[in-house]
Amino acid sequence: MAELTEAQQRDFEAAAFRRLLEHLRERSDVQNIDMMNLAGFCRNCLSNWYRDAASDAGVELSKEASREIVYGMPYAEWQAKYQLEATDAQKAAFEASRPKDH
């Protein structure tokens, strides 16, 4: 395996993150509750992690601003366009596998 510099690793991680965001924006049909049920995280988690990283670097970023970065639009707009009401089965699966911090 090639040795990476810290800068290369950071750049590659950033590129992978941007690609993940692009993919999630293209797959607006995938609901957050489905992501939570299958993977234990969702778009909101990503926006929280982004905001935490900004805070760790001394940059204050609002919840709304970090969500807009992840969703590619204001969160309320994304909800209105793409978010569906969760089914009883989705809600039950979420309660059964809910991460303790959600």
pLDDT of 93 reads 94
As a whole number of Å, the end-to-end CA separation of the chain is 38
User: What secondary structure does DSSP assign to 29-58, as a single string?
Assistant: TS-HHHHHHHHS--HHHHHHHHHHHHHHTT
pLDDT of 100 reads 72
Confidence label for 76 from pLDDT (cuts 50, 70 and 90): very high
pLDDT of 97 reads 86
pLDDT of 102 reads 64
Confidence label for 1 from pLDDT (cuts 50, 70 and 90): confident
Residue 53 near residue 2 (C-beta atoms within 8 A): no
Query: Which of 46, 102, 34, 49 shows the shortest CA–CA distance to 72?
Result: 46
Residues in the chain: 102
